[in-house]
Amino acid sequence: MRKSMILIITLVFFSLNVFASEFHVDKSQKRQMQFFSKMTLEDFDGKTEKIDGFLNDNQTGLLNSNFYFEVDMNSIKTYIGSANIGLMDRHMYDMYLHTKKYPKSAFKGTITAINENDVIAEGDFNLHGTVKKVKFNGTVIPDGNNGYNVKFKFAVKMPDYKIETPSYMLAKVNEKIDIVVEFMLKKVK
């Protein structure tokens, strides 16, 4: 009886894994999170390549696939034009994002709609220790090598995530931040 039960459990586990594919962020390819913000006097943006994540599909396509990505908040560099402003980075880490306490932001959800390569992902977005239900529009395009090129665009309002809206001398940052996340997923063998 015990051997039969172990055999049944093993077969069920194996059959579930046969029909699922797992994809991870390909760290050898370009990956980037970039945000854009308007200020009273001049716009600025921030960038990082430190993104990780995965997608689990069920071999019937991307619909209802589990999807996750995270961004290392301590790696974001801010720019005004093409100049990186180190002091602005430190202020962002320490005074606004509190990256020692909240080192990562993350999305965890599912792909809920597909129209060719256009997708909608819905789930929980965690930023600055605050989790909100969100809906992101994006593209997930097969790359021809058992992987996907992923791009999502969305906006967050800093007060929604308990982030104080920064101001520098006479310049005040807009509370709405536009974000673009891009990365490649490769199939795990």
Identify whether 14 is part of a domain. no
Q: 11-20, 108-117, 176-185: which has the minimum mean pLDDT?
A: 11-20
User: Stretch 64-93: mean pLDDT, rounded?
Assistant: 90
pLDDT at 1: 59
Please tell me the total count of domains within the chain.
1
Q: What percent of the chain has pLDDT over 70?
A: 86
- Domain assignment of residue 137, yes or no: yes
Considering the chain, what percentage of its residues have pLDDT values greater than 90? 65
Q: 182 or 11: whose pLDDT is higher?
A: 182
17 pLDDT more than 90: no
User: What pLDDT was estimated at residue 67?
Assistant: 93
How high is the pLDDT of residue 14? 42
Which CATH number belongs to the domain containing residue 67 in this structure?
2.40.128.110
Domain that holds residue 175: 20-187
Please give the model's pTM, rounded to 2 decimal places.
0.83
DSSP calls for 107-176: EEEEEEEEETTEEEEEEEEEETTEEEEEEEEEEEEE-SSSEEEEEEEEEEEGGGGT-PPPEETTEEB-SE
pLDDT at 156 over 80: yes
